[in-house]
Protein backbone atom coordinates (compact mmCIF):
# COMPACT_ATOMS: atom_id res chain seq x y z
CA UNK A 1 0.00 0.00 0.00
CA UNK A 2 2.79 2.36 0.98
CA UNK A 3 4.67 1.54 -2.23
CA UNK A 4 1.59 2.34 -4.31
CA UNK A 5 1.16 5.64 -2.46
CA UNK A 6 4.81 6.54 -3.11
CA UNK A 7 4.39 5.73 -6.79
CA UNK A 8 1.35 8.01 -7.00
CA UNK A 9 3.18 10.87 -5.25
CA UNK A 10 6.22 10.41 -7.50
CA UNK A 11 4.03 10.42 -10.60
CA UNK A 12 2.27 13.62 -9.48
CA UNK A 13 5.63 15.33 -8.87
CA UNK A 14 6.90 14.32 -12.32
CA UNK A 15 3.70 15.56 -13.96
CA UNK A 16 3.90 18.87 -12.04
CA UNK A 17 7.53 19.44 -13.03
CA UNK A 18 6.75 18.59 -16.66
CA UNK A 19 3.78 20.99 -16.63
CA UNK A 20 5.89 23.81 -15.21
CA UNK A 21 8.59 23.16 -17.80
CA UNK A 22 6.07 23.19 -20.64
CA UNK A 23 4.43 26.39 -19.39
CA UNK A 24 7.77 28.17 -19.16
CA UNK A 25 9.09 26.85 -22.44
CA UNK A 26 9.97 29.60 -24.94
CA UNK A 27 8.69 28.79 -28.39
CA UNK A 28 10.98 29.30 -31.37
CA UNK A 29 10.10 31.87 -34.00
CA UNK A 30 8.14 30.57 -36.96
CA UNK A 31 8.37 31.44 -40.63
CA UNK A 32 5.13 31.20 -42.59
CA UNK A 33 4.75 30.91 -46.37
CA UNK A 34 1.40 32.21 -47.60
CA UNK A 35 0.57 31.82 -51.28
CA UNK A 36 -2.05 33.91 -53.08
CA UNK A 37 -2.86 30.86 -55.22
CA UNK A 38 -2.23 27.21 -54.40
CA UNK A 39 -3.50 25.96 -57.76
CA UNK A 40 -2.10 28.28 -60.43
CA UNK A 41 -2.44 27.54 -64.12
CA UNK A 42 0.41 27.55 -66.64
CA UNK A 43 1.76 31.08 -67.30
CA UNK A 44 -0.12 32.40 -64.28
CA UNK A 45 1.76 34.63 -61.84
CA UNK A 46 1.12 34.63 -58.10
CA UNK A 47 2.86 35.78 -54.94
CA UNK A 48 4.13 34.10 -51.80
CA UNK A 49 4.41 36.20 -48.64
CA UNK A 50 7.21 35.23 -46.27
CA UNK A 51 5.85 36.03 -42.81
CA UNK A 52 7.58 35.90 -39.42
CA UNK A 53 5.96 35.25 -36.07
CA UNK A 54 8.30 35.62 -33.08
CA UNK A 55 6.25 33.80 -30.41
CA UNK A 56 6.70 36.65 -27.95
CA UNK A 57 10.42 37.21 -28.50
CA UNK A 58 11.97 40.39 -29.89
CA UNK A 59 14.18 39.79 -32.92
CA UNK A 60 16.31 42.26 -34.84
CA UNK A 61 17.75 40.22 -37.70
CA UNK A 62 16.84 37.45 -40.11
CA UNK A 63 18.59 35.35 -42.73
CA UNK A 64 16.61 33.04 -44.96
CA UNK A 65 16.89 30.77 -47.98
CA UNK A 66 13.75 30.05 -49.99
CA UNK A 67 13.94 26.97 -52.24
CA UNK A 68 11.42 26.32 -55.01
CA UNK A 69 10.68 23.67 -57.66
CA UNK A 70 12.48 25.09 -60.66
CA UNK A 71 10.84 22.68 -63.11
CA UNK A 72 7.36 23.95 -62.29
CA UNK A 73 8.04 27.55 -61.24
CA UNK A 74 9.94 30.60 -62.45
CA UNK A 75 10.98 33.31 -60.01
CA UNK A 76 9.92 36.72 -61.36
CA UNK A 77 10.93 39.24 -58.71
CA UNK A 78 10.87 40.20 -55.04
CA UNK A 79 8.93 43.14 -53.64
CA UNK A 80 10.34 44.58 -50.42
CA UNK A 81 8.22 47.75 -50.34
CA UNK A 82 6.12 46.72 -47.34
CA UNK A 83 8.77 44.59 -45.66
CA UNK A 84 9.48 45.19 -41.98
CA UNK A 85 13.19 44.86 -42.72
CA UNK A 86 14.69 48.35 -42.58
CA UNK A 87 18.30 47.61 -43.48
CA UNK A 88 19.16 44.98 -46.08
CA UNK A 89 22.40 43.06 -45.72
CA UNK A 90 21.50 41.08 -48.84
CA UNK A 91 18.43 41.90 -50.88
CA UNK A 92 16.57 38.87 -52.28
CA UNK A 93 18.99 37.23 -54.71
CA UNK A 94 18.34 34.28 -57.01
CA UNK A 95 20.98 31.54 -56.97
CA UNK A 96 19.87 28.51 -58.95
CA UNK A 97 16.57 27.50 -57.38
CA UNK A 98 17.33 29.31 -54.12
CA UNK A 99 16.36 32.85 -53.15
CA UNK A 100 18.48 34.19 -50.30
CA UNK A 101 18.01 37.35 -48.28
CA UNK A 102 19.08 38.82 -44.96
CA UNK A 103 18.35 42.04 -43.16
CA UNK A 104 18.05 43.92 -39.91
CA UNK A 105 15.18 45.47 -37.95
CA UNK A 106 17.18 47.92 -35.77
CA UNK A 107 14.42 48.66 -33.24
CA UNK A 108 13.49 45.01 -32.93
CA UNK A 109 10.33 43.20 -34.02
CA UNK A 110 7.95 41.34 -31.74
CA UNK A 111 4.91 41.16 -33.99
CA UNK A 112 2.26 43.33 -35.60
CA UNK A 113 -0.38 44.53 -33.13
CA UNK A 114 -3.82 43.14 -33.90
CA UNK A 115 -6.15 46.18 -34.08
CA UNK A 116 -9.06 44.01 -32.86
CA UNK A 117 -7.12 42.50 -29.96
CA UNK A 118 -4.29 44.64 -28.63
CA UNK A 119 -2.89 41.73 -26.63
CA UNK A 120 -2.33 39.66 -29.75
CA UNK A 121 0.70 39.95 -32.05
CA UNK A 122 0.30 38.99 -35.70
CA UNK A 123 2.99 37.76 -38.13
CA UNK A 124 4.96 40.45 -39.98
CA UNK A 125 5.89 40.54 -43.67
CA UNK A 126 9.55 39.93 -44.42
CA UNK A 127 9.35 39.78 -48.23
CA UNK A 128 6.87 39.15 -51.05
CA UNK A 129 8.07 36.81 -53.81
CA UNK A 130 6.47 36.73 -57.26
CA UNK A 131 6.47 33.43 -59.18
CA UNK A 132 5.07 32.19 -62.47
CA UNK A 133 3.83 28.65 -63.02
CA UNK A 134 5.35 27.13 -66.15
CA UNK A 135 4.74 23.36 -66.02
CA UNK A 136 1.99 21.08 -64.77
CA UNK A 137 2.69 19.15 -61.60
CA UNK A 138 3.30 19.40 -57.88
CA UNK A 139 5.53 22.30 -56.87
CA UNK A 140 7.10 22.90 -53.49
CA UNK A 141 8.38 26.07 -51.87
CA UNK A 142 10.37 25.70 -48.65
CA UNK A 143 12.29 27.96 -46.28
CA UNK A 144 15.23 27.52 -43.93
CA UNK A 145 15.95 30.49 -41.71
CA UNK A 146 17.27 31.83 -38.46
CA UNK A 147 16.77 35.06 -36.55
CA UNK A 148 18.90 36.98 -34.08
CA UNK A 149 17.40 38.16 -30.81
CA UNK A 150 17.39 41.80 -29.79
CA UNK A 151 19.16 40.97 -26.53
CA UNK A 152 22.42 42.84 -27.05
CA UNK A 153 24.26 39.56 -27.60
CA UNK A 154 23.08 38.65 -31.10
CA UNK A 155 21.77 35.32 -29.84
CA UNK A 156 20.84 33.07 -32.75
CA UNK A 157 17.32 31.64 -32.76
CA UNK A 158 16.97 28.82 -35.28
CA UNK A 159 13.65 28.47 -37.08
CA UNK A 160 12.23 25.09 -38.00
CA UNK A 161 12.12 24.52 -41.79
CA UNK A 162 8.74 25.15 -43.39
CA UNK A 163 7.24 24.10 -46.71
CA UNK A 164 4.12 24.57 -48.81
CA UNK A 165 2.87 22.58 -51.80
CA UNK A 166 1.24 23.94 -54.93
CA UNK A 167 -0.61 22.07 -57.64
CA UNK A 168 0.10 23.59 -61.06
CA UNK A 169 -2.79 22.71 -63.35
CA UNK A 170 -2.40 22.05 -67.07
CA UNK A 171 -4.85 24.84 -67.91
CA UNK A 172 -3.20 27.73 -69.72
CA UNK A 173 -3.96 30.79 -67.59
CA UNK A 174 -1.89 33.77 -68.76
CA UNK A 175 -1.82 36.32 -65.94
CA UNK A 176 0.78 38.92 -65.00
CA UNK A 177 0.75 39.96 -61.36
CA UNK A 178 0.99 43.72 -61.02
CA UNK A 179 1.19 45.72 -57.85
CA UNK A 180 -1.67 48.14 -57.41
CA UNK A 181 -0.77 51.56 -58.73
CA UNK A 182 0.16 54.07 -56.09
CA UNK A 183 0.78 57.78 -56.49
CA UNK A 184 3.42 57.75 -53.77
CA UNK A 185 6.86 58.27 -55.26
CA UNK A 186 10.18 56.77 -54.17
CA UNK A 187 12.42 58.76 -51.85
CA UNK A 188 16.03 59.30 -52.92
CA UNK A 189 19.01 60.38 -50.83
CA UNK A 190 22.23 60.76 -52.83
CA UNK A 191 25.66 62.33 -52.60
CA UNK A 192 29.10 62.11 -54.23
CA UNK A 193 32.13 61.32 -52.12
CA UNK A 194 35.76 60.24 -52.19
CA UNK A 195 37.14 57.60 -49.86
CA UNK A 196 40.62 56.00 -49.86
CA UNK A 197 38.97 52.66 -49.04
CA UNK A 198 36.48 52.89 -51.89
CA UNK A 199 37.55 52.65 -55.56
CA UNK A 200 41.03 54.07 -54.85
CA UNK A 201 39.71 57.43 -53.66
CA UNK A 202 37.85 58.10 -56.92
CA UNK A 203 34.54 59.94 -57.09
CA UNK A 204 31.71 57.61 -56.11
CA UNK A 205 27.95 58.13 -56.05
CA UNK A 206 26.32 56.86 -52.86
CA UNK A 207 22.54 56.66 -52.78
CA UNK A 208 19.67 55.21 -50.79
CA UNK A 209 16.23 54.70 -52.31
CA UNK A 210 13.10 53.92 -50.31
CA UNK A 211 9.56 53.04 -51.29
CA UNK A 212 7.38 51.57 -48.55
CA UNK A 213 4.42 50.86 -50.82
CA UNK A 214 5.38 48.70 -53.79
CA UNK A 215 9.18 48.51 -53.63
CA UNK A 216 11.88 49.74 -55.99
CA UNK A 217 11.89 48.32 -59.51
CA UNK A 218 15.11 49.97 -60.71
CA UNK A 219 17.47 52.91 -60.29
CA UNK A 220 18.98 54.66 -63.32
CA UNK A 221 21.80 57.19 -63.55
CA UNK A 222 22.74 59.66 -66.26
CA UNK A 223 26.01 61.61 -66.32
CA UNK A 224 25.86 64.68 -68.53
CA UNK A 225 25.02 63.63 -72.10
CA UNK A 226 25.72 59.95 -71.46
CA UNK A 227 22.89 57.42 -71.76
CA UNK A 228 20.77 56.31 -68.81
CA UNK A 229 21.90 53.03 -67.24
CA UNK A 230 20.79 50.88 -64.33
CA UNK A 231 23.07 51.04 -61.29
CA UNK A 232 23.42 50.03 -57.67
CA UNK A 233 25.06 51.88 -54.78
CA UNK A 234 27.95 52.58 -54.53
CA UNK A 235 28.46 53.60 -58.16
CA UNK A 236 31.84 54.64 -59.60
CA UNK A 237 31.33 57.77 -61.70
CA UNK A 238 32.49 57.64 -65.30
CA UNK A 239 33.21 61.37 -65.30
CA UNK A 240 35.96 61.72 -62.70
CA UNK A 241 36.37 65.42 -63.53
CA UNK A 242 33.00 66.10 -61.84
CA UNK A 243 32.09 68.46 -64.66
CA UNK A 244 28.84 66.64 -65.54
CA UNK A 245 25.42 67.02 -63.95
CA UNK A 246 24.38 63.69 -62.40
CA UNK A 247 20.72 62.64 -62.68
CA UNK A 248 19.37 59.76 -60.61
CA UNK A 249 15.96 58.22 -61.29
CA UNK A 250 14.17 55.63 -59.15
CA UNK A 251 11.01 53.81 -60.26
CA UNK A 252 8.75 51.66 -58.10
CA UNK A 253 6.63 48.69 -59.13
CA UNK A 254 3.57 50.93 -59.19
CA UNK A 255 5.10 52.89 -62.07
CA UNK A 256 5.82 56.08 -60.10
CA UNK A 257 9.30 57.57 -60.37
CA UNK A 258 11.44 60.24 -58.76
CA UNK A 259 14.40 62.03 -60.34
CA UNK A 260 17.03 64.08 -58.52
CA UNK A 261 20.05 65.93 -59.90
CA UNK A 262 23.46 66.63 -58.43
CA UNK A 263 25.21 69.68 -59.83
CA UNK A 264 28.72 69.48 -61.22
CA UNK A 265 31.60 70.73 -59.09
CA UNK A 266 33.86 71.89 -61.91
CA UNK A 267 31.68 73.76 -64.37
CA UNK A 268 32.36 73.52 -68.05
CA UNK A 269 31.56 77.22 -68.45
CA UNK A 270 34.52 79.53 -68.90
CA UNK A 271 36.40 80.44 -65.77
CA UNK A 272 37.85 83.91 -65.14
CA UNK A 273 41.28 82.61 -66.10
CA UNK A 274 39.99 81.36 -69.44
CA UNK A 275 38.24 84.66 -70.11
CA UNK A 276 41.45 86.62 -69.42
CA UNK A 277 43.39 84.37 -71.78
CA UNK A 278 40.82 84.87 -74.53
CA UNK A 279 40.82 88.65 -74.02
CA UNK A 280 44.62 88.71 -74.16
CA UNK A 281 44.64 86.66 -77.37
CA UNK A 282 42.07 89.00 -78.93
CA UNK A 283 44.16 92.04 -78.00
CA UNK A 284 47.23 90.50 -79.58
CA UNK A 285 45.25 89.74 -82.73
CA UNK A 286 43.93 93.31 -82.86
CA UNK A 287 47.44 94.73 -82.44
CA UNK A 288 48.74 92.52 -85.26
CA UNK A 289 45.86 93.54 -87.52
CA UNK A 290 46.42 97.22 -86.71
CA UNK A 291 50.11 96.98 -87.51
CA UNK A 292 49.30 95.10 -90.71
CA UNK A 293 47.00 97.90 -91.91
CA UNK A 294 49.65 100.51 -91.05
CA UNK A 295 52.17 98.69 -93.20
CA UNK A 296 49.70 98.55 -96.09
CA UNK A 297 48.91 102.28 -95.80
CA UNK A 298 52.60 103.17 -95.63
CA UNK A 299 53.26 101.12 -98.78
CA UNK A 300 50.49 102.96 -100.66
CA UNK A 301 52.02 106.31 -99.75
Q: What value, to the nearest 5°, has the Cα angle with vertex 219 and ends 215 and 221?
A: 165
Domain count, the chain: 3
Give Cα separations from 257 to 139, 182, 183, 246 (angstroms). Answer: 36, 11, 9, 16
159 and 202 co-located in one domain: no
Q: What is the reported pLDDT for 214?
A: 75
255 and 131 co-located in one domain: no
Does the pLDDT of residue 172 top 60, yes or no?
A: yes
Predicted confidence band of residue 130 (pLDDT cuts 50, 70, 90): very high
154 and 230 co-located in one domain: no
41 and 82 co-located in one domain: yes
158 assigned to some structural domain:
yes
Alpha-carbon distance of 135 to 40, in angstroms, equals 10
130 and 208 co-located in one domain: no
195 and 291 co-located in one domain: no
Lowest mean pLDDT among 10-14, 98-102, 108-112: 10-14
11 assigned to some structural domain:
no
User: Do 110 and 67 form a contact (C-beta atoms < 8 A)?
Assistant: no
Alpha-carbon distance of 151 to 148, in angstroms, equals 9
224 and 284 co-located in one domain: no
Q: What is the reported pLDDT for 271?
A: 53
109 and 218 co-located in one domain: no
199 assigned to some structural domain:
yes
145 and 204 co-located in one domain: no
The torsion of the CA quartet 274, 280, 285, 291, rounded to 10 degrees, works out to 180
Alpha-carbon distance of 215 to 254, in angstroms, equals 8
129 assigned to some structural domain:
yes
Predicted confidence band of residue 272 (pLDDT cuts 50, 70, 90): low
Q: What is the reported pLDDT for 265?
A: 75
56 and 136 co-located in one domain: yes
Q: What is the reported pLDDT for 32?
A: 95
CA nearest neighbour of 27 among 65, 69, 55, 68: 55
Lowest mean pLDDT among 14-18, 30-34, 108-112, 135-139: 14-18
Q: What is the reported pLDDT for 231?
A: 93
Name the pTM for this structure.
0.66
Q: What is the reported pLDDT for 7?
A: 45
Predicted confidence band of residue 93 (pLDDT cuts 50, 70, 90): very high
185-208 pLDDT, tens digit each: 888 999 999 988 889 999 999 998
* Greater pLDDT, 168 or 81: 168
Residue ending a domain, choose from 175, 198, 214: 175
Q: What is the CA radius of gyration of the chain?
A: 32
Alpha-carbon distance of 202 to 216, in angstroms, equals 27
74 and 48 co-located in one domain: yes
- Give the E-state strand segments of the chain in sequence order: 30-35, 42-53, 59-68, 73-79, 87-95, 98-109, 112-114, 117-122, 124-133, 137-149, 156-168, 172-175, 187-195, 198-210, 216-223, 229-230, 235-236, 246-252, 257-262
Helix, strand, or coil (residue 211): coil
Lowest mean pLDDT among 42-56, 97-111, 112-126, 179-193: 179-193
Alpha-carbon distance of 102 to 83, in angstroms, equals 12
Per the structure, the complete domain to which residue 151 belongs is given by 26-175
In residues, how long is the chain? 301
Q: What is the reported pLDDT for 266?
A: 63
135 and 201 co-located in one domain: no
Amino acid sequence: MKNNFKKIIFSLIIISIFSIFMNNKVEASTLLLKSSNTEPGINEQFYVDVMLTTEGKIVNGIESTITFSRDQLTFIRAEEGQSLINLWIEKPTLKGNNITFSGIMPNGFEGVIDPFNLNTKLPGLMIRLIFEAKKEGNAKISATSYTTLNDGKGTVDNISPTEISLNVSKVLTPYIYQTKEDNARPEITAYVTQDPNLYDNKYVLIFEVKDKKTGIKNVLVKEGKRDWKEVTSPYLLEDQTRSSIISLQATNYGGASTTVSLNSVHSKTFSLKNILIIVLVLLIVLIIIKKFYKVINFTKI
